[in-house]
Structure 1
Amino acid sequence: MYQFVKEGKPVRKWDPLFNEIFKNGDKIQMTVEETQKGVKVTETSKDEKVLALKTFQYILVTLVPVLVLSLVIPALAQAPFVFEVRHDHLIGSCRGELFLSNDQAVFKSEKKEHSRTWKYGDIQQVELHADHISILTYEDRKVEFGKDRAFQFDIRSGTVTEGLLQLLDDKLSRPVISSILPSEDRVVYRLPVRHRKLLNDTQGALEIGESAVVYRSDSEDDSRVWWYDDLLSIGSTGPFQLRLGVLEKTGGEYGEEKNYVFDVKDRLDPAAYDFIWEKINRPKIER
């Protein structure tokens, strides 16, 4: 810019402000000083009109972008996570968009009568998976004798990210059931395991970290993350078995704890067991 003004070679000719600055370029005194971080340019003028032009240019170039960013960044932070989804019914299905924002979850269906809006306080539990999202509500299903109503949305477009996990974990009073795993946590112990299930056991590893226990499974949907606040109990019947009691709705009226049972392939290190026990129980003891 210094060289352009000095040589009278206008830039941004479509901009009236720059045109005026270049017209009065001979009234601007500029000095260039080298610094450790680059160069420092000082512009001075005895002409009040030129000073006003340069002041206005400074505002446009420096302060306006900062103001715009200060408005845009919070807006981006509050922008909803949006997914194109399919929702199956007892008979048939419908398609639409699922919005998860700072204060609510909204399903906008192609069939208006199937659209729904839930404040987070009206949601019992959310399950996050790469290919679907499930929302368990406080609504009753009369055809199932008052069973809590759940809505499963199969994702057709959109990506479930760790950012969505963090948002829901912050907004919901109950833990999020998630096979989307956090990216960072220092792993203290790692246990190769088999997860015992009624059908289709899975293989993987329990990663015992400072903030959470992660089950990293070879079956993506069976992976889990449990923050220590969400773990209710730990148990073992021997050196090759580990049970984690998790705060999770199990479908029954009073079902608040779900047990995850793992076969430990290497002898269970007592220090690993004690580490989890301390994380679960020490805060309760110190209250």
Structure 2
Amino acid sequence: MNKTNHSIGTLAPVLFVLLAFCSTAMLGQPYHFAVKHAHGWRSCQGELTISQEGITYQDSKEKHDRKWVFKEVQQVRLLSSKELAIVTYEDQRLKWSGDRSFRFILLDGEITNSLYRFLLEKTGKPLVAKIAFIETGPTYQLSAKHLHRWGGCQGTLIFSENGVIYQTDDKEESRTWLYSDLESIGPMNPFHLRLTTNETSRFHYGGRADFNFVLKEKMNEKLYEYLWRHIHKMESPSNGISSK
């Protein structure tokens, strides 16, 4: 055996392991978390697993074990880097209306951008992400105040190639939206921006949540056209129509 063939023979097992690892990574490794499940006045602890097959919760007593295939998940709400809720199509017990949700607090690990992307792909539905996932550098950014029903919080609106991020120090008030998560935008004036999202809400018209921002600096026409283009997937601001 010559030296070249010997080298190939030595490297073959290593290459096989690397290819197997890459294939597994591409398929998506299961995510395992030790969690606390909050329900009613009490809570229990167990393991939450998010995999290709769906989402599973198992506790030590099996009393609260649950398993959801992704089509049975109405919405996943990422409430912080350590907390998430799963909204189902089940009716909320002991209440007149509303869908049942299951809330979990992570006791180890955290919600990462890779898990966010994995859930987006597997559910095929918009997620509520109260975390600022910044994947690419900002194309534009504006200081802003997000108006709540009472008061508001201050932060920064970041507009990138992938979507819109609102970053704030206030707990559970940051947001990440892909452009596909946004239905429309509506500037009342250059210092106000409304984002209509695909987030489900019982308190907004049509079940869609509006987010209103007071801008601390003027939003120019170029930025508005940029947002409009990305939300409506237009190739250019004029969409091939002459401005004359």
- Displacement of 1:199 in angstroms is 3.9
Equivalent residue for 1:249? 200
Equivalent residue for 2:69? 119
Equivalent residue for 2:170? 219
Q: Percent identity?
A: 30
Equivalent residue for 2:53? 103
- Displacement of 1:221 in angstroms is 2.3
**Letter matched to residue 93 of structure 1:** S
Q: What SS class does the counterpart of residue 187 from structure 1 fall into?
A: coil
CA RMSD of aligned residues (A): 2.6
- Displacement of 1:91 in angstroms is 2.9
Contact 2:146 2:214 survives alignment (8 Å): yes
Contact 1:102 1:167 survives alignment (8 Å): no
TM value normalised by structure 1: 0.74
TM value normalised by structure 2: 0.86
Select the structure with the greater relative contact order (CA < 8 A; seq sep ≥ 6): 2
Contact 1:195 1:202 survives alignment (8 Å): yes
The number of residues matched between the two structures is 235
* 1:80 is the counterpart of 2:47: no
Structure 1 runs not aligned, ≥5 long: 1-27, 29-41, 45-53
The CA distance in 2 between the partners of 1:105 and 1:87, in whole Å, is 14
Larger Rg: 1
Question: Runs in 1 of length 4+ with deviation above 6 angstroms?
Answer: none
**Letter matched to residue 239 of structure 1:** P
Q: What SS class does the counterpart of residue 232 from structure 2 fall into?
A: helix
Contact 1:165 1:180 survives alignment (8 Å): no
- Displacement of 1:209 in angstroms is 1.6
- Displacement of 1:254 in angstroms is 8.0
Contact 1:162 1:181 survives alignment (8 Å): no
Q: Structure 2 vs 1, CA of residues 181 and 103 (structure 1 numbering), >3 Å: closer, same or farther? A: farther
Q: Structure 2 vs 1, CA of residues 199 and 103 (structure 1 numbering), >3 Å: closer, same or farther? A: farther
1:196-223 alpha-carbon deviations (Å, 9 max, x no partner): 1124521111111222111111225211
Q: Structure 2 vs 1, CA of residues 241 and 99 (structure 1 numbering), >3 Å: closer, same or farther? A: same
Equivalent of 2:120 in 149, 152, 169: 169
Q: Structure 2 vs 1, CA of residues 152 and 185 (structure 1 numbering), >3 Å: closer, same or farther? A: same
Equivalent of 2:132 in 181, 184, 195: 181
The CA distance in 1 between the partners of 2:103 and 2:160, in whole Å, is 31
Greater fraction of residues in helix:
1
Structure 2 runs not aligned, ≥5 long: 240-244
**Letter matched to residue 163 of structure 1:** S
Contact 1:194 1:201 survives alignment (8 Å): yes
Equivalent residue for 1:274? 225
The CA distance in 2 between the partners of 1:204 and 1:219, in whole Å, is 9
- Displacement of 1:239 in angstroms is 2.2
